[in-house]
Chains A and B, each alone.
Chain A
Amino acid sequence: MIRFIAVLAVLTVLAGCAAYSLVDAKRQTIGDAYTVQPSIQWSKADADKVEIWTVDGPDLEMIRFFRGLSDGDRLFSAKDDVKLPTYNPDMKASEIMEFVVDSIARAGAGNVDGTALRPAQFGTVPGFRFDLSFTSGDGLWFDGLAIGATIDDKLHLILYTGARQHYFPKYRDEVERMIGTIETT
């Protein structure tokens, strides 16, 4: 249980306690692979291979931009002996969805479900997208959407999640519009 909580603690530190900076409503570069054009201001926190954007706070809604996960990388930080799924470049889209869903479940969420996996363009790169739902540790329902692509053996993934009541729908159109502005570099 201590290790289980440690996973969540790392996630919380990453999402809730990191230093945030302002993201202006102008084209932003995500890692070295692509740019997006937000139409509103967001707050941003940076970590190793992920940056988090939020407006009302990460407990309510957030976009996570995973910037080029490599072979053996995990979606979330945790101690080495915590059994989190790892990414490998040979994964098909179905397996990447499993990787994401199982990582979220392993981090303590319940009722995790990935649905409607389908092909999608990630800028000019063929990719995939799917929908998500899960309950938080408090049993609050969350919805989510994910879009991603494997570019040069690295996984680039945009994961938007928010509380089902109010917050997920509040920024969904903005997120969808921003996905439409992805320009791979």
Chain B
Amino acid sequence: MKCARATSLLTAAALLASGCAQTGDIQKIEPGERPSIESDEAGLWMQMDRFEEDLKTSGKVIADPDLNAYVRDILCRLKADYCVDIRIYIVRTADFNASMAPNGVMIVWTGIILRARNEAQLASVLGHELVHYIGRHALKRWREIRNTTDAAVFFTFATGGIAGILAGFAAYDSIMSFSRDMEREADSRGLAMMHAAGYDSREAAKIWQQLIKEKEESDEPKRSAFFSTHPATEERSKTLAELAAATDNAGTSLGRERHAAMTAPFRHDWLLDELRQRDYARFEVLLDQLSETGQEDGELLFFRGELHRLRGEGEDDAKAIAAYTAALESDSAPPETYRSLGLVQWSAGNTAATRAAFESYLASERDPEDRAMIEHYLQQIP
């Protein structure tokens, strides 16, 4: 660790020295282009290459080939000539975030894929990040901050801080947060890119609207990494909506069905990740948005029940029971719906209903791994 930190500081010193001679205009990066070895940009890339080596073996990175192929396909559809330069890492983390490193590492949190209601919305985020890469925004930002104390902080992130690789990258992301002009450029060019790729550009503003609602309702709005680096403002959403309105979206696609199909195998785990943040008000907004069609499926109803059961305030017990009961009327409720229903019925003092729920849980198709505990509960219930 000390060795790595020393190396980083030496690199920082070298970059600070080399950077002094490099103050000219920064051109966009061309497909396949690599920085010259003596440049400060090469130093930035080297740091990110080291980070990427650690990232490759992280247990948080989702390796599922179908999901990766899906996200990559969207990216390549947006900008085929840059496709080979970008390595996407889908990281299982709650909350909405995506990051673009100067060397072509794009990190996409699962929270963003969960929240996108269709392929077009995901494309708007990927396009936005891709503009940061093409515009060399990280290099621009680095040159702006290199003579400040932040520069030293920046070069500690790759040495592995207390919070690990991803938090370290988040710290990098925060330090390197792009200027408003860069964000505006990423918004407008990203929108043009998604439109050119055949996606309905009106979806870009919609995902921002969703985020604004989440932030407004959140019990802990400052926790979000994305909100700290990408201000979710009405102005931003309005600008995107105006830009989209000025384009002809006839014949464009949403890709709702493919997005639903590709994310369905993961949705339960990703919703669980969000629930575990215990930001109940924000989670409720998320559930409302995911069930906007008015037809909540059993899985979403189960999570609505979980939200009320865990919060346990006011009429939450009754609302949890109603949600679980509705979930069980569908054919898509997970088996643990019965267990959760049993727990909340027990808490409410409904012994007969508790027993019935636990017995149904034990009788469900999948042999429960906590069978011994549930059987123990049944012995305790009068």
A residues near B (Cβ < 8 Å) are 1-5, 8-9, 12, 81-85, 90, 92-95, 98, 101-102, 105-106, 108, 110-112, 115-119, 128, 135-141
Contacts and interface: CB of A to CB of B under 8 A. Distances in A.
B58 A117 contact: no
Interface of B: 54-55, 57-61, 92-93, 160, 162-167, 170-171, 174, 219-220, 222-225, 228, 273, 276-279, 310, 339, 343, 346-347, 369-370, 372-373, 376-377
Given A83-B278, A83-B279, A110-B59, A93 B373 contact: yes
Given A5-B167, A115-B369, A135 B222 contact: no
Given A112-B276, A138-B54, A138-B58, A5 B163 contact: yes
B276 A139 contact: no
A1 B225 contact: yes
Contact of B220 (A9, A83, A101): A83
Contact of B373 (A9, A12, A81, A128): A128
Contacts of A2: 222, 228
Nearest to A4: B223
B111 to A, nearest CB: 12
A94 B167 contact: no
B343 A94 contact: yes
22 contacts: A1-B174, A1-B224, A4-B163, A5-B162, A9-B162, A12-B162, A83-B278, A83-B279, A84-B278, A106-B278, A108-B164, A110-B93, A111-B92, A115-B369, A118-B372, A118-B373, A119-B372, A135-B59, A136-B164, A137-B165, A139-B165, A139-B166
A9 to B, nearest CB: 6
Contacts, number: 110
A139 B57 contact: yes
A50 B61 CA distance: 32
A85 B343 CA distance: 17
A8 B59 contact: no
